[in-house]
Chains A and B, each alone.
Chain A
Amino acid sequence: MTITARTTTETAPHHSSLRYAARDVVTLARRNLLALIRVPTALVFMVIQPVMFVLLFRYIFQALGAFTHGNYVNFLVPGILVQTTIFGAVGTAIGLAEDLQRGLIERFKALPMARMAVLAGRTLADSLRNVIVLVIITGVGFLVGFRPHGGFFDYIAACLVMLLFAYCLSWGFAFVGLAAPNSETAQAMTFPLIFPLTFASTIFIPLMDLPSWLQGFANNQPVSETTTAVRALMTGTPAGNSIWVSLLWSIGLVAVLAPLAVNQFRKIA
């Protein structure tokens, strides 16, 4: 005797509802945030790097007299904040690569949970981690003389612009994490992507101080747009249309990168 597949596609209402998908995302985001508490050294090292950047660039660049456009601290700190949130995406790649390596992705794939929850839970948790890092770096910035001119809500708006941008970009790094053979390689693979984006930008020095051959790229890439937007909102420099351009980049990036990551998630086993 043989059994045949049931022809009716009876779905238990509980399992297909959006409410359960949201719960799956929360469950996995919570799990990823717990790791931050359980292995606090990871967060510490994530914060140390930007703190060193703030201190080194602020004092060394100033001493060199390399910056001739006024107060360098106010120029630098918004840029470092953008850079730090983008660097957070490296954690997205490493985290997913580790889950894959440990067989957790396989376990998740055999569970009746929402398919996208693994990726959404990871990227969401990484965004929340970015919020913590933003608060800390802002504090350090204040200690070394950072004085934003904009109001409190402008500051919040600036944070939201960069958090959104980093979140959308992190889907690309989710793809990298799922495509890499292991977490070490995943980490190495992120550098060629992240360094040109952050250093060939207006994060550390103004566009006009960059070599002329680099200005074309630096002026038109999304990190510079986001940095200009964040800097404008925080310190009152001219925004131009950078806020809208940054938001458009965010939407465009997630529209392309999220399907790429989801497709990679489906493919791997």
Chain B
Amino acid sequence: MSEFSVEATDIVRTFNDGDFRALDGVSLQVPTGQVFGLLGPNGSGKTTMVRILSTVLAPTEGRAIVAGYDVVKQPGQVRRSIGLAGQFAAVDENLTGFENLRMVGFLNHMERSRAITRSRQLLVDFGLADFAHKLTSTYSGGMRRRLDLAAALVADPPILFLDEPTTGLDPQSRQDLWAIIEGLVEGGTTVLLTTQYLEEADRLCKQLVVLDHGKIIAEGTSSQLKSSLGNTVLVLTFASTGDAQQTLGLIADISAKPANVDGTIIELTVDKGPASAAEALRRIDSSEVVLAGLQLREPSLDDVFLNLTGHKAEDDVVVVEEKLSRRARRKAEAKV
């Protein structure tokens, strides 16, 4: 297997006869066997990028190689190497969960018996075995999303594209899906996922790029980005100013950045929030100081975008997305 499963060079995609540039020269390399994140707000071009890489949409300019094949010149070979789970669970409501997966198996040109065996196994793996023969119109949102992901996995593709896999899910379903994705990567699958959530990118993605208005505005590993983008702040509260002063000496060297003391509160900017907090606790615990409160303030996507672009993530860009394509509206309507 090559070092990179996906390599895109200077991808441009325009809509409305060139009036709107959804992607404006995006290049990225997705290392094989990792989760790679495309982070950005609505309208930043994430979905357009996934559609191009999965051969659904042709790029206006640029070149993309997926699994060693050109998405424009060899789309058939690309399709045999990928699984796609789009932004909204694409399941046929008039079919059962099993029938949905079997249909995708047949359309992947799998042998009949293998498509059936594989479908059954995936339904078990994704906790849907009890609902295998129920119509998917009766499924909950989380179940649909799991079935949608299972459908992308029927042919056991080495590369998986997931477009906002957890948007709209409750926290438990989100955790479940994260665990599934991590399991897939352990098994050697390469995953490219898009997300609006910094937390999700941080949890899953080894490397990521941040998109805004169709351009990459930052890239790197999650921790690199976090230290350059927003910062996790460890906030310690004490019973007295004396305790705070005393503790400052104990923990100041945990972070390279200077601590900020305000009365009984210490604010320490750290790179690795939980690890730094644990280290601080250990040191405080072995001293005589009593800790009154501890809080980790994570940077939000808003912080990141404010930091990088000077505008908030959920600004007017939403309007641009609406203009971008009828599909966005259609899908939003379908969701309602």
Interface string of A2-27 (1 = CB under 8 A from B): 11111001111011100010011001
Q: In the bound complex, how far is the Cα of B147 from the Cα of A107, in angstroms? A: 13
State the CA gap A181–B76 with chains docked (Å).
Answer: 28
Contact B331 A6 (CB under 8 A): no
Tell me the bound Cα distance from A43 to B87 in angstroms.
31
Chain A hits for B56, CB < 8 A: 106, 109-110, 269
Across the interface, B330 reaches (CB within 8 A) one of A38, A100, A104, namely A100
A residues in contact (CB < 8 Å) with B: 1-6, 9-12, 14-16, 20, 23-24, 27-28, 31, 34-35, 38-39, 100-104, 106-113, 117, 181-182, 268-269
Contact among B68, B74, B329, B331 with A3 in the assembled complex (CB-CB below 8 Å): B68
* Inter-chain contacts of A16 with B (CB < 8 A): 76
Q: Helix, strand, loop or mixed for chain B's interface?
A: mixed
Closest residue of chain A to B88, judged by CB? Answer: A103
Q: B68, A38: Cβ atoms under 8 Å?
A: no
Known pairs A4-B65, A27-B107, A103-B331. 5 more at Cβ < 8 A? A11-B76, A31-B94, A34-B99, A101-B331, A107-B86
Q: How far is the CB of B283 from chain A (nearest CB, A)?
A: 44
Residue of B nearest to A4 (CB): B65
How big is the B interface, by class? Answer: 35 or more
Question: Do residues A106 and B330 form an inter-chain contact, with CB atoms below 8 A?
Answer: no
Name the residue on A nearest B105 (C-beta).
A27
Question: Which residues of B lie under 8 Å from residue A101 when comparing CB positions?
Answer: 330-331, 333-334
Report how far A39 CA is from B99 CA in the complex, Å.
Answer: 16
The 6 closest A-B pairs by CB, nearest first: A103-B90, A35-B94, A269-B57, A110-B84, A112-B79, A5-B70
Q: A27-B107, A34-B95, A113-B109 are in contact. Are A12 and B57 (CB under 8 A)?
A: no
Asked if A111 contacts B135 (CB within 8 A), the reply is no
Q: Which residues of B contact A10 (CB under 8 A)?
A: 77
A111 touches B89 (CB 8 A): no
Judge whether B334 and A103 touch: CB under 8 Å: yes
| Contact between B330 and A31, CB atoms less than 8 A apart | no
**B76 pairs with A39, CB closer than 8 A:** no
A109→B78 CA distance, assembly (Å): 12
| CB-based contact B55/A15 at 8 Å | no
* Closest Cβ–Cβ distance, residue B120 to chain A (whole Å): 18
In the assembled complex, the Cα of A9 lies from the Cα of B29 at a distance in Å of: 23
What are the residues of chain B within 8 A of A102 when measuring CB–CB? 88, 90-93, 334
Nearest B residue to A35 by beta-carbon distance?
B94
Partner of B90, one of A23, A104, A181: A104
Task: Name the residue among B91, B151, B334 with the largest chain A CB count within 10 angstroms.
Answer: B334
Beta-carbon nearest neighbor of B53 in chain A: A110
CB pair A107–B151 under 8 Å, yes or no, is yes
A198 to B330, alpha carbons, bound, how many Å? 31
**Can you list 18 pairs linking A and B with CB atoms under 8 Å apart?**
A1-B3, A2-B7, A3-B65, A4-B68, A9-B74, A15-B109, A16-B76, A31-B103, A102-B88, A106-B84, A106-B90, A107-B84, A107-B86, A107-B90, A109-B55, A110-B55, A181-B326, A182-B330
In the complex, which residues of chain B have a beta carbon less than 8 angstroms from the beta carbon of A28? 103, 107
Most buried by B among A2, A35, A101, A102: A102
Judge whether B211 is part of the interface by a CB distance below 8 angstroms: no
